[in-house]
Protein backbone atom coordinates (compact mmCIF):
# COMPACT_ATOMS: atom_id res chain seq x y z
CA UNK A 1 0.00 0.00 0.00
CA UNK A 2 1.22 3.52 -0.85
CA UNK A 3 2.35 5.57 2.16
CA UNK A 4 0.92 9.01 2.83
CA UNK A 5 3.20 12.03 2.65
CA UNK A 6 2.39 15.06 4.74
CA UNK A 7 3.03 18.27 2.83
CA UNK A 8 3.66 21.73 4.17
CA UNK A 9 3.37 24.95 2.17
CA UNK A 10 5.83 27.71 3.02
CA UNK A 11 4.43 31.11 1.93
CA UNK A 12 0.78 30.90 0.88
CA UNK A 13 0.88 33.47 -1.94
CA UNK A 14 -0.50 33.42 -5.50
CA UNK A 15 1.09 30.27 -6.89
CA UNK A 16 0.65 28.38 -3.62
CA UNK A 17 -3.13 28.41 -4.25
CA UNK A 18 -2.65 26.62 -7.57
CA UNK A 19 -0.25 24.16 -5.99
CA UNK A 20 -2.66 23.39 -3.12
CA UNK A 21 -5.48 22.79 -5.64
CA UNK A 22 -3.22 20.48 -7.68
CA UNK A 23 -2.13 18.54 -4.60
CA UNK A 24 -5.72 17.36 -4.15
CA UNK A 25 -5.17 15.16 -7.23
CA UNK A 26 -2.04 13.48 -5.90
CA UNK A 27 -2.61 9.98 -4.47
CA UNK A 28 -0.92 9.62 -1.08
CA UNK A 29 -0.55 13.38 -0.51
CA UNK A 30 -2.02 15.15 2.49
CA UNK A 31 -1.80 18.92 2.77
CA UNK A 32 -0.94 19.05 6.47
CA UNK A 33 0.46 22.46 7.41
CA UNK A 34 0.86 26.03 6.17
CA UNK A 35 3.57 28.45 7.27
CA UNK A 36 3.30 32.19 6.68
CA UNK A 37 4.86 35.28 8.21
CA UNK A 38 1.27 36.17 9.05
CA UNK A 39 -0.55 33.65 11.29
CA UNK A 40 -4.05 34.76 10.21
CA UNK A 41 -3.17 34.37 6.55
CA UNK A 42 -1.75 30.89 7.27
CA UNK A 43 -4.94 29.86 9.09
CA UNK A 44 -7.24 31.21 6.37
CA UNK A 45 -5.29 29.35 3.67
CA UNK A 46 -5.21 26.18 5.80
CA UNK A 47 -8.99 26.33 6.28
CA UNK A 48 -9.56 26.87 2.55
CA UNK A 49 -7.67 23.65 1.70
CA UNK A 50 -8.56 21.67 4.84
CA UNK A 51 -5.00 21.58 6.20
CA UNK A 52 -5.20 20.86 9.95
CA UNK A 53 -2.19 22.93 11.07
CA UNK A 54 -0.99 26.50 10.48
CA UNK A 55 2.02 28.45 11.70
CA UNK A 56 2.93 32.14 11.90
CA UNK A 57 6.53 31.52 10.86
CA UNK A 58 8.45 29.51 8.28
CA UNK A 59 10.69 28.17 11.03
CA UNK A 60 7.82 26.63 12.98
CA UNK A 61 6.69 24.85 9.81
CA UNK A 62 10.22 23.55 9.14
CA UNK A 63 10.45 22.26 12.74
CA UNK A 64 7.17 20.33 12.71
CA UNK A 65 8.21 16.65 12.93
CA UNK A 66 4.96 15.55 11.26
CA UNK A 67 5.80 17.35 7.98
CA UNK A 68 7.58 15.24 5.33
CA UNK A 69 7.78 17.59 2.32
CA UNK A 70 7.77 21.39 2.13
CA UNK A 71 6.77 23.28 -1.00
CA UNK A 72 8.45 26.71 -1.04
CA UNK A 73 6.58 29.53 -2.78
CA UNK A 74 8.30 32.75 -1.74
CA UNK A 75 9.74 35.25 -4.29
CA UNK A 76 12.98 34.02 -5.93
CA UNK A 77 15.41 35.87 -3.68
CA UNK A 78 14.22 33.97 -0.57
CA UNK A 79 14.36 30.46 -2.02
CA UNK A 80 17.88 29.71 -0.83
CA UNK A 81 17.41 30.72 2.80
CA UNK A 82 13.99 29.01 2.96
CA UNK A 83 15.29 25.80 1.38
CA UNK A 84 18.34 25.67 3.67
CA UNK A 85 16.03 26.06 6.68
CA UNK A 86 13.85 23.15 5.55
CA UNK A 87 16.72 20.89 4.44
CA UNK A 88 18.53 21.44 7.74
CA UNK A 89 15.41 20.21 9.52
CA UNK A 90 15.46 17.06 7.39
CA UNK A 91 12.52 17.99 5.17
CA UNK A 92 12.21 17.07 1.52
CA UNK A 93 11.93 20.29 -0.50
CA UNK A 94 10.06 21.18 -3.66
CA UNK A 95 11.10 24.78 -4.33
CA UNK A 96 9.44 27.09 -6.85
CA UNK A 97 11.29 28.05 -10.01
CA UNK A 98 13.80 29.54 -10.42
CA UNK A 99 15.54 27.46 -7.75
CA UNK A 100 17.46 30.60 -6.71
CA UNK A 101 18.77 33.75 -8.40
CA UNK A 102 22.29 32.61 -9.31
CA UNK A 103 24.32 29.42 -9.54
CA UNK A 104 26.29 30.12 -6.37
CA UNK A 105 23.00 29.97 -4.46
CA UNK A 106 21.91 26.83 -6.34
CA UNK A 107 25.21 25.13 -5.45
CA UNK A 108 24.69 25.92 -1.77
CA UNK A 109 21.22 24.38 -1.88
CA UNK A 110 22.50 21.23 -3.57
CA UNK A 111 25.29 20.93 -0.97
CA UNK A 112 22.73 21.27 1.83
CA UNK A 113 20.53 18.55 0.28
CA UNK A 114 23.54 16.21 0.10
CA UNK A 115 24.81 17.06 3.58
CA UNK A 116 21.41 16.47 5.17
CA UNK A 117 20.53 13.56 2.89
CA UNK A 118 17.28 15.37 2.07
CA UNK A 119 15.44 15.57 -1.22
CA UNK A 120 15.55 18.80 -3.24
CA UNK A 121 13.85 19.57 -6.55
CA UNK A 122 13.03 22.75 -8.46
CA UNK A 123 9.28 23.05 -9.06
CA UNK A 124 9.71 23.24 -12.82
CA UNK A 125 6.20 21.90 -13.26
CA UNK A 126 6.21 21.92 -17.09
CA UNK A 127 8.94 19.24 -17.10
CA UNK A 128 6.44 16.76 -15.67
CA UNK A 129 3.44 17.57 -17.86
CA UNK A 130 2.34 14.76 -20.20
CA UNK A 131 2.31 17.12 -23.24
CA UNK A 132 5.92 18.20 -22.69
CA UNK A 133 7.03 14.58 -22.21
CA UNK A 134 5.09 13.59 -25.36
CA UNK A 135 6.77 16.38 -27.37
CA UNK A 136 10.18 15.05 -26.50
CA UNK A 137 9.09 11.54 -27.49
CA UNK A 138 7.77 12.85 -30.82
CA UNK A 139 10.79 15.04 -31.45
CA UNK A 140 13.21 12.17 -30.93
CA UNK A 141 11.08 9.58 -32.78
CA UNK A 142 12.31 10.71 -36.21
CA UNK A 143 8.76 11.56 -37.30
CA UNK A 144 9.72 15.14 -38.24
CA UNK A 145 13.25 14.16 -39.26
CA UNK A 146 16.34 15.59 -37.60
CA UNK A 147 15.25 18.41 -35.29
CA UNK A 148 17.16 21.56 -36.04
CA UNK A 149 15.20 24.49 -34.67
CA UNK A 150 13.13 25.55 -31.67
CA UNK A 151 11.16 28.77 -31.57
CA UNK A 152 9.39 29.62 -28.32
CA UNK A 153 8.06 32.77 -26.72
CA UNK A 154 6.45 33.79 -23.45
CA UNK A 155 5.10 37.29 -23.11
CA UNK A 156 2.42 39.08 -21.18
CA UNK A 157 1.77 42.65 -20.17
CA UNK A 158 2.29 43.08 -16.46
CA UNK A 159 1.04 46.16 -14.57
CA UNK A 160 4.13 48.23 -13.86
CA UNK A 161 4.90 48.49 -10.16
CA UNK A 162 8.55 49.04 -9.27
CA UNK A 163 7.99 47.46 -5.83
CA UNK A 164 6.43 44.25 -7.19
CA UNK A 165 8.16 40.90 -7.49
CA UNK A 166 8.33 41.28 -11.29
CA UNK A 167 10.09 44.65 -11.36
CA UNK A 168 11.97 45.00 -8.07
CA UNK A 169 15.65 43.95 -8.38
CA UNK A 170 15.66 43.25 -4.63
CA UNK A 171 13.12 40.47 -5.32
CA UNK A 172 14.95 39.13 -8.40
CA UNK A 173 12.61 40.90 -10.83
CA UNK A 174 12.63 40.70 -14.61
CA UNK A 175 11.31 38.51 -17.40
CA UNK A 176 14.29 36.14 -17.52
CA UNK A 177 14.01 34.50 -14.10
CA UNK A 178 10.23 34.62 -13.98
CA UNK A 179 9.12 33.45 -17.43
CA UNK A 180 12.24 33.20 -19.63
CA UNK A 181 13.08 30.14 -17.59
CA UNK A 182 10.35 28.17 -19.43
CA UNK A 183 11.64 28.49 -23.03
CA UNK A 184 15.22 28.09 -21.74
CA UNK A 185 14.33 24.92 -19.86
CA UNK A 186 12.55 23.60 -22.95
CA UNK A 187 15.60 24.18 -25.16
CA UNK A 188 17.85 22.40 -22.64
CA UNK A 189 15.36 19.54 -22.29
CA UNK A 190 15.26 19.03 -26.06
CA UNK A 191 18.87 19.68 -27.05
CA UNK A 192 21.09 19.55 -23.92
CA UNK A 193 23.64 22.19 -22.96
CA UNK A 194 24.20 24.92 -25.58
CA UNK A 195 27.65 25.59 -27.02
CA UNK A 196 26.89 29.24 -27.85
CA UNK A 197 24.66 31.81 -26.16
CA UNK A 198 23.76 35.20 -27.60
CA UNK A 199 21.30 37.41 -25.77
CA UNK A 200 20.04 40.96 -25.69
CA UNK A 201 17.67 42.57 -23.23
CA UNK A 202 15.77 45.79 -22.81
CA UNK A 203 16.18 46.88 -19.22
CA UNK A 204 13.44 48.93 -17.57
CA UNK A 205 13.65 51.85 -15.12
CA UNK A 206 14.40 49.55 -12.16
CA UNK A 207 17.31 47.92 -14.03
CA UNK A 208 15.69 44.52 -14.54
CA UNK A 209 15.07 42.97 -17.97
CA UNK A 210 11.58 43.73 -19.22
CA UNK A 211 12.15 41.99 -22.57
CA UNK A 212 14.81 39.60 -23.72
CA UNK A 213 15.82 37.66 -26.85
CA UNK A 214 18.12 34.65 -26.69
CA UNK A 215 19.71 32.58 -29.42
CA UNK A 216 21.24 29.25 -28.43
CA UNK A 217 23.35 26.99 -30.59
CA UNK A 218 23.82 23.30 -29.81
CA UNK A 219 26.53 20.81 -30.76
CA UNK A 220 24.06 19.00 -33.08
CA UNK A 221 23.84 22.21 -35.11
CA UNK A 222 20.32 22.91 -33.79
CA UNK A 223 19.38 26.50 -32.97
CA UNK A 224 16.84 27.85 -30.46
CA UNK A 225 15.37 31.33 -30.87
CA UNK A 226 13.60 32.37 -27.70
CA UNK A 227 11.96 35.57 -26.55
CA UNK A 228 10.19 36.65 -23.43
CA UNK A 229 8.76 39.87 -22.11
CA UNK A 230 6.60 41.34 -19.36
CA UNK A 231 5.60 44.37 -21.47
CA UNK A 232 3.32 42.84 -24.14
CA UNK A 233 1.17 39.85 -24.90
CA UNK A 234 2.86 37.49 -27.38
CA UNK A 235 1.52 34.27 -28.98
CA UNK A 236 3.09 32.05 -26.24
CA UNK A 237 3.64 29.23 -28.73
CA UNK A 238 6.47 26.83 -29.38
CA UNK A 239 7.51 25.20 -32.65
CA UNK A 240 10.05 22.46 -33.07
CA UNK A 241 11.18 22.23 -36.67
CA UNK A 242 12.75 19.18 -38.24
CA UNK A 243 13.98 18.22 -41.69
CA UNK A 244 10.58 16.59 -42.47
CA UNK A 245 8.04 18.64 -40.53
CA UNK A 246 7.25 20.43 -37.31
CA UNK A 247 5.67 20.00 -33.92
CA UNK A 248 3.53 22.89 -32.80
CA UNK A 249 2.60 23.58 -29.19
CA UNK A 250 -0.25 26.10 -29.16
CA UNK A 251 -0.90 29.05 -26.84
CA UNK A 252 0.49 28.64 -23.32
CA UNK A 253 2.59 25.76 -24.58
CA UNK A 254 4.23 25.29 -21.15
CA UNK A 255 0.84 24.42 -19.58
CA UNK A 256 -1.39 21.37 -20.16
CA UNK A 257 -2.29 21.52 -23.90
CA UNK A 258 -2.54 19.34 -26.99
CA UNK A 259 0.18 19.13 -29.65
CA UNK A 260 -0.01 19.26 -33.46
CA UNK A 261 2.56 17.35 -35.52
CA UNK A 262 2.74 18.21 -39.23
CA UNK A 263 4.73 16.64 -42.04
CA UNK A 264 4.32 17.13 -45.79
CA UNK A 265 1.89 14.16 -45.85
CA UNK A 266 -0.25 14.71 -42.78
CA UNK A 267 -1.16 16.82 -39.78
CA UNK A 268 -2.08 15.06 -36.56
CA UNK A 269 -3.25 16.40 -33.20
CA UNK A 270 -2.16 14.46 -30.14
CA UNK A 271 -4.95 14.65 -27.57
CA UNK A 272 -3.39 14.31 -24.16
CA UNK A 273 -5.20 13.08 -21.03
CA UNK A 274 -4.55 15.37 -18.09
CA UNK A 275 -5.37 14.95 -14.43
CA UNK A 276 -5.76 17.90 -12.07
CA UNK A 277 -4.50 21.40 -12.90
CA UNK A 278 -0.98 20.39 -14.00
CA UNK A 279 0.77 21.35 -10.75
CA UNK A 280 0.07 17.87 -9.41
CA UNK A 281 2.54 16.06 -11.71
CA UNK A 282 5.64 17.57 -10.07
CA UNK A 283 4.30 16.57 -6.62
CA UNK A 284 3.78 12.99 -7.84
CA UNK A 285 7.42 12.99 -8.96
CA UNK A 286 8.59 14.13 -5.50
CA UNK A 287 6.67 11.33 -3.81
CA UNK A 288 7.91 8.72 -6.31
CA UNK A 289 11.49 9.82 -5.64
CA UNK A 290 10.96 9.60 -1.87
CA UNK A 291 9.44 6.12 -2.28
CA UNK A 292 12.69 5.17 -4.02
CA UNK A 293 14.91 6.79 -1.36
CA UNK A 294 16.29 9.44 -3.73
CA UNK A 295 17.51 12.94 -2.83
CA UNK A 296 17.10 14.23 -6.40
CA UNK A 297 14.86 13.49 -9.33
CA UNK A 298 16.40 11.71 -12.32
CA UNK A 299 13.89 13.64 -14.46
CA UNK A 300 14.86 17.13 -13.28
CA UNK A 301 18.10 16.63 -11.40
CA UNK A 302 20.29 18.97 -9.34
CA UNK A 303 22.60 19.21 -12.37
CA UNK A 304 19.66 20.15 -14.62
CA UNK A 305 18.71 23.00 -12.28
CA UNK A 306 22.33 24.10 -11.99
CA UNK A 307 22.88 24.10 -15.78
CA UNK A 308 19.69 26.09 -16.28
CA UNK A 309 20.83 28.64 -13.70
CA UNK A 310 24.33 28.81 -15.22
CA UNK A 311 22.70 29.62 -18.55
CA UNK A 312 20.60 32.36 -16.91
CA UNK A 313 23.75 33.70 -15.17
CA UNK A 314 25.40 33.92 -18.58
CA UNK A 315 22.44 35.76 -20.09
CA UNK A 316 22.35 38.15 -17.11
CA UNK A 317 26.03 38.77 -17.59
CA UNK A 318 25.66 39.47 -21.31
CA UNK A 319 22.70 41.79 -20.70
CA UNK A 320 23.97 43.57 -17.57
CA UNK A 321 21.20 42.37 -15.24
CA UNK A 322 22.35 42.59 -11.62
CA UNK A 323 20.63 42.01 -8.30
CA UNK A 324 21.64 43.31 -4.86
CA UNK A 325 21.42 39.70 -3.60
CA UNK A 326 24.26 38.69 -5.98
CA UNK A 327 26.64 40.54 -3.66
CA UNK A 328 25.67 38.60 -0.52
CA UNK A 329 28.29 35.94 0.25
Residues that bind ligand NAP (CB under 6 A): 11-15, 36-38, 41, 73-76, 78, 96-97, 123, 125, 165, 178
Given the complex with ligand NAP, which of 74 and 80 has the nearer CB atom? 74
Given the complex with ligand NAP, which of 125 and 218 has the nearer CB atom? 125
Query: Closest distance between ligand NAP and the C-beta of residue 41, in Å?
Result: 5
Given the complex with ligand NAP, which of 22 and 242 has the nearer CB atom? 22
Given the complex with ligand NAP, which of 36 and 211 has the nearer CB atom? 36
Query: Closest distance between ligand NAP and the C-beta of residue 179, in Å?
Result: 9
| DSSP codes of every residue in 16-53 | HHHHHHHHTTSTTEEEEEEE-SSHHHHHHHHHHTT-SE
Please check whether residue 62 is in contact with residue 85, taking contact to mean a CB–CB distance below 8 angstroms. yes
Query: Closest distance between ligand NAP and the C-beta of residue 76, in Å?
Result: 4
Given the complex with ligand NAP, which of 38 and 47 has the nearer CB atom? 38
Query: Closest distance between ligand NAP and the C-beta of residue 95, in Å?
Result: 8
Burial of 15 (0-12, 13-18, 19+ CB in 10 A): middle
* 90 alpha carbon, distance to own chain's centre: 23
Q: For residues 171 and 86, what is the distance between their CA atoms, to the nearest angstrom?
A: 20
Given the complex with ligand NAP, which of 222 and 306 has the nearer CB atom? 306
| DSSP codes of every residue in 84-148 | HHHHHTT-EEEEESSSSSSHHHHHHHHHHHHHTT--EEEE-GGGG-HHHHHHHHHHHTTTT-SEE
**b vs e for 66-99, b when ≥16 Cβ sit within 10 Å of the residue's Cβ?**
ebbbbbbbbbbbbbbbbbbbbbebebbbbbbbbb
Please give the backbone phi and psi of residue 222, each rounded to the nearest 5 degrees, phi first.
Answer: -65, 150
98 cis-preceded (ω within 30 degrees of 0): yes
CA angle 38, 42, 48 (to 5 degrees): 145
- Paired with 30 in beta bridges are 6
Given the complex with ligand NAP, which of 6 and 97 has the nearer CB atom? 97
Burial of 322 (0-12, 13-18, 19+ CB in 10 A): middle
190 to 218, 220, 241: CA distances (angstroms) = 10, 11, 12
Given the complex with ligand NAP, which of 17 and 217 has the nearer CB atom? 17
Query: Closest distance between ligand NAP and the C-beta of residue 217, in Å?
Result: 27
Query: Closest distance between ligand NAP and the C-beta of residue 104, in Å?
Result: 18
Given the complex with ligand NAP, which of 41 and 217 has the nearer CB atom? 41
3-state secondary structure of 70: strand
3-state secondary structure of 286: helix
Query: Closest distance between ligand NAP and the C-beta of residue 164, in Å?
Result: 8
- Residue facing ligand NAP at closest CB distance: 13
Query: Closest distance between ligand NAP and the C-beta of residue 219, in Å?
Result: 30
Query: Closest distance between ligand NAP and the C-beta of residue 299, in Å?
Result: 16
Amino acid sequence: MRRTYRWGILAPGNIAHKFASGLQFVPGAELYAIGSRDGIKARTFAEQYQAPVSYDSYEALAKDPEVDIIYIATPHTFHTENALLCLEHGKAVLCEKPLAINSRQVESMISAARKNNSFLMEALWSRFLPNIIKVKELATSGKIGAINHLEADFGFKADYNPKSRLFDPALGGGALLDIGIYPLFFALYLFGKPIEVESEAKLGPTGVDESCKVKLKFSSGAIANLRFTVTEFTPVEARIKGSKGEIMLPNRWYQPANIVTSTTDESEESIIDFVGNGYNYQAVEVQNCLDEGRIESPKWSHTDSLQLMQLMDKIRNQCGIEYPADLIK
